[in-house]
Amino acid sequence: MNEDTDTVTLPPPVHNAGNDAAKTSGEEADDNCFTRRMTAAGAIRIENDDKLRGVPIYYEARGQWYSADGRGGFAKITDSTAKTLVAEYGFNKNMKDAQGNTPAERELVWLTQNNRVAFAGALAGYPAGLHEAGGIRFLVTESPAFINPVPGKCDTIRLLVESLFFDEQHDQKTFFYLWASESYAAFHRRLAEKETDKFRHCPALAIFGERGCGKSALIDLILTPLFGGRKADPMNYLRDPKFNKDLFAASLLTLDDKGASANLAERRQRGEGIKDLIWKPEQRMEGKGVDAVNLRPFWRLVIAGNDDDSGLQVCPALSPGLYDKLLILRAQPADGLPTTHEENDAWAAKIRAELPAFAAWLLAYRPPEGITLDPRTRVANFQHPQIVSALRELQPEMRLLELIDTLGLIDADAPLWEGRATEFERAMRAKDNEGLLARIFVTGTSAGRMLSELARNLPERVKRTDRDGQSYYRVFKAK
């Protein structure tokens, strides 16, 4: 093979004792015809392939054609339409060659081999067009809605944000602005500067407050349009991580407290799922009836719920591994919220008009001096202590810790209690005259599991050590 032209160099005619005749002229013509039409690798040859490379028609791996739609995106087309479009670029679709193929048919074969993509569709954080990441070529069929930043006033938006997160003891508005500015700057770079190859770690934003305080308005009127105008709910995927294709078109993933399970095992699983969603650059997209493909969407996750026991259930069970992956803010009723439908329409219109100015303000935002930023996320790590305390109360190991103190596990003159989980359960039951532990020690392994959770989350109260293949726990008094 000639490497420069990728053509086949034919061997000389083969002679043997029984047949000294060379190939006929017809056989040589057939071989030459093959090398003109096909490469050794089985790819079709086109004499004017430079012309064909400019044809905006792509073939998705599952057998679907896409072409430019005249509005900056791409739309599905049939085989017949694809042939018609190729003909419009000068490739005849009626005149057949000696092999029975028209030029347009041969061009379509060339396109299936050269303009083939593993995925075609909307993809979070990508403008419409052909992209490649992780060795995979894919076609983004439509761009997200993009707000062009324009400096100006955004007083209505800032009043909503700063009153919603006002707290006398914690500078929550700064924590929100750090998260929003870093997230929007990354999104802006992808759309405005085509910087789609860089992944930015960012924690999920969790907001808890009373009903009607303004958190839904923040998500629907401000965050959703800032991040492309689409949002998706990943709750079903977090419960059963199978089909998730619907998530890949939206840059903003939102979880709310509607139907959130109080099951602790599910909440722990939710935490692991959230870490995967926001911390892994590459995500496996699976749709029903199609092959899975690995893509790199731009996602930001917002969790919102009321600050009662039911609303807090949407939050994953807290663990040390979630500290830098979950920014938890406490919301209070925001100032300036509308009270009638007429007021709401005018207020929402004012917010929409201020979005370009707010986008510009976020791009210009800089962290205040003295604040500590996580080096990976460039966002401050913060979890509001009041919300954290309420979340801890939803975890049975925290109720167990409370009973350790109220039942007096540790003698007054002793600094700590030490032993195995079975010994701990026996000692606690001996002090429980009211059956308070009946709903906590529900299985034979409950005590050990809860002590291990306490050792992970509150090492100042419980420490775990292994001796001769068994776990021992040291339980300390509250300081």
Whole-number mean pLDDT of the chain? 89
DSSP SS3 for 378: coil
Residue 34's pLDDT band, with cuts at 50, 70 and 90, is low
Identify the pLDDT of residue 377: 95
Distances (CA, A) of 237 to 224, 274, 281, 285, 390: 20, 10, 18, 11, 26
**pLDDT confidence bin for 18, thresholds 50/70/90:** very low
For residue 44, the model assigns a pLDDT of 82
Report the length, in residues, of the chain: 479
Q: What would the pLDDT profile of 326-383 be if each residue is shown by its tens digit?
A: 999 999 999 999 999 999 999 999 999 999 999 999 999 999 999 999 999 999 999 9
Place of tokens 């050269």: 114
Residue reference for tokens 């299936």 = 112
| DSSP-derived secondary structure for 123-192 | -TT--SEEEEETTEEEEE-SPPP-PPP-----HHHHHHHHHHT--SSS-HHHHHHHHHHHHHHHHHHHHH
Asked if residue 472 has pLDDT above 80, the reply is yes
- Provide the percentage of residues in the chain whose pLDDT is more than 70: 92
Euclidean distance between CA atoms 386 and 328, whole angstroms: 10
Which amino acid is present at 25?
Answer: S
Exposed, middle or buried: residue 418 (CB in 10 Å: 0-12, 13-18, 19+)? Answer: middle
Q: Could you tell me what percent of the chain has a pLDDT over 90?
A: 70
- The pair phi, psi for residue 401, each rounded to 5°, is -60, -40
Local confidence band at 13 (pLDDT 50, 70, 90 cut-offs): very low
The pLDDT score that the predictor gives to residue 339 is 93
Give the global pTM. 0.82
Q: How far is Cα 308 from Cα 180, in angstroms, rounded to an integer? A: 26
